[in-house]
């Protein structure tokens, strides 16, 4: 099995079976599992995915919310009073300038847990760029705890580079691919580290809001949390869009997943043509 060592660690904290569920079932599943850490994946511009995340957060009633989209400095600006004023909160965070989809999509997630402590997991861009040229283990405190001191096996590295190329419309120069994979790995570790810090500081539960690629149980944030602290009870949601043709692969790298209608968007590959 690919990524077997990471998957074995992650499944110490996995539910009994991985399965597709409906959006209506999600809050019930969260209540039944009562995870210490709930990883909520998304496709960033899909409104339905954020509605599902907000419903899951409301069910969990977390003590802490961790956002991929926020830096620690941005997160420190969030207050319950600002959460009650979504437009002002988005302005204070500089959300639009950061390039994320409309803050109105994310505001209900904040509102679902207005008293939760907000954590930002985003790394500075300069630190992420260093992943292209420097050993990963030196770029994050306690990097070895998250496996950053150990290179991926050659076959795994090759597979990830191919996935990265496909995700970027086969338009990346091949020499960029190792750095892109390293940067993704560094960000996964940072998200895991911030989530565990939030758990330690608040007692949990904690919800992490992130892209579905970071929510994979085989190699991304959940696997790294399980590696660093196998005792943590994890539940990971992936959210996918129904393809125009064919079917969703039933073997998904999440504990539970939801398939939604796609959101209308321009062809992301058009800019590369």
**Other beta carbons within 10 Å of 217:** 27
Q: Give per-residue pLDDT as tens, 127-179.
A: 999 999 999 999 999 999 999 999 999 999 999 999 999 999 999 999 999 99
The pLDDT value recorded for residue 11 is 44
The verdict on residue 21 lying in a domain is no
CA angle 208, 192, 24 (to 5 degrees): 25
The tokens describing 206, both together, are: 């904690």
Q: Give per-residue pLDDT as tens, 179-207.
A: 999 999 999 999 999 999 999 999 999 99
The verdict on residue 161 lying in a domain is yes
DSSP state of 240: E
- What CATH number did the domain enclosing 190 receive? 3.40.50.11550
The verdict on residue 106 lying in a domain is yes
The verdict on residue 100 lying in a domain is yes
The verdict on residue 269 lying in a domain is no
| Total domains in the fold of the chain | 1
The verdict on residue 267 lying in a domain is no
Q: Give per-residue pLDDT as tens, 207-254.
A: 999 999 999 999 999 999 999 999 999 999 999 999 988 888 999 999
The verdict on residue 268 lying in a domain is no
Q: Can you tell me the mean pLDDT for 70-89? A: 98
The verdict on residue 115 lying in a domain is yes
Using DSSP bridges, classify how beta strands 234-241 and 19-20 pair: parallel, antiparallel or unpaired: unpaired
In sequence order, what E strands does 74-170 have? 117-120
Residue 104 clears pLDDT 90, i.e. is over it? yes
Structural domain boundaries, residue 179: 4-11+26-240+248-259
The pLDDT value recorded for residue 9 is 41
The pLDDT value recorded for residue 14 is 46
């Amino acid at each position: 099995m690919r990524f077997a060592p990471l998957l074995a660690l992650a499944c110490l904290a996995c539910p009994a079976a991985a399965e597709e569920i409906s959006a209506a079932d999600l809050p019930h599943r969260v209540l039944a599992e009562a995870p210490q850490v709930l990883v909520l994946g998304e496709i960033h511009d899909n409104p339905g995915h954020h509605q599902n995340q907000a419903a899951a957060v409301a069910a969990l009633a977390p003590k802490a919310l961790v956002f991929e989209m926020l830096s620690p400095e941005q997160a420190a600006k969030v207050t319950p009073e600002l959460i009650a004023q979504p437009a002002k909160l988005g302005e204070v965070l500089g959300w639009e300038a950061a390039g994320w989809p409309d803050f109105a999509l994310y505001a209900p997630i904040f509102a679902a847990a207005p008293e939760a402590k907000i954590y930002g997991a985003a790394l500075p861009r300069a630190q992420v760029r260093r992943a292209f040229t420097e050993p990963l283990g030196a770029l994050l405190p306690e990097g070895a705890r998250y496996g950053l001191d150990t290179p991926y096996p050659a076959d795994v590295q090759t597979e990830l580079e191919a996935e990265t190329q496909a995700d970027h419309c086969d338009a990346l120069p091949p020499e960029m691919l190792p750095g892109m994979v390293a940067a993704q790995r560094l960000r996964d570790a940072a998200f895991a580290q911030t989530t565990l810090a939030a758990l330690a500081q608040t007692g949990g539960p904690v919800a992490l809001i992130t892209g579905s690629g970071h929510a994979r149980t085989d190699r991304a944030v959940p696997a790294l949390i399980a590696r660093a602290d196998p005792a943590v009870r994890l539940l990971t949601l992936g959210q996918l869009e129904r393809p125009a043709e064919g079917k969703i692969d039933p073997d998904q790298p999440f504990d539970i997943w939801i398939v939604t209608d796609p959101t209308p968007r321009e062809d992301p590959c058009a800019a590369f043509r």
